[in-house]
Amino acid sequence: MKNKLLYLAPILLFFITGCFNDKVSPVPSLSSGTYSGQFRLFHRHATTSPFDTLKANITLTLSNTPANSFSLSGDTASVIAGSKGTYELATNGNFILFVDSTIPQTATSGKVHLNGEYVYSYDGNALQMIASSADTLQVQYDLKKN
């Protein structure tokens, strides 16, 4: 029994010292600027099991003036539509809301617009945003600050 406790001592020491570490790393806030990277659309059909994945290289520009505006450009030929409008960061949690002013009111283009609420993570350089619709559709933005 003593031998088993001897093996557990380093693990217990690790956890105990972790409790006394009161350093909190600051979480960087999402800032205005230009972010470039890849957009991915994952779609699962009801009749097939693997996901279809469509990709596009995009550039997202966030600006504080005028009043938290954004624009999305890049490879907008088939998968994702060029977008512009406003955005708002949630005060409690990592959510960002985009309101795209370019969405057509009557016809649909079949392209994804940067519109709606997304869960995001940002480490000061890499920005990832994800949104899902039920269990068959997910969009993901993996971007780096320029």
Which residue ranges form the domains of the chain, and what is each CATH number? 33-145 (2.40.128)
Cβ atoms of residues 128 and 120 within 8 Å: yes
pLDDT digits 0-9 by tens, 59-97: 999 998 878 999 999 999 889 999 999 999 998 889 999
Residue 40 has pLDDT above 80, yes or no: yes
* Tokens describing residue 88: 């708002």
pLDDT for position 104:
83
- CA-wise closest residue to 135 among 40, 56, 45, 52: 45
Please, what's the b/e burial string for 30-59 (b: 16 or more CB within 10 A of its CB; e: otherwise)? Answer: beeeebebebbbeeeeeeeeeeeeeebebe
pLDDT digits 0-9 by tens, 124-135: 999 999 998 777
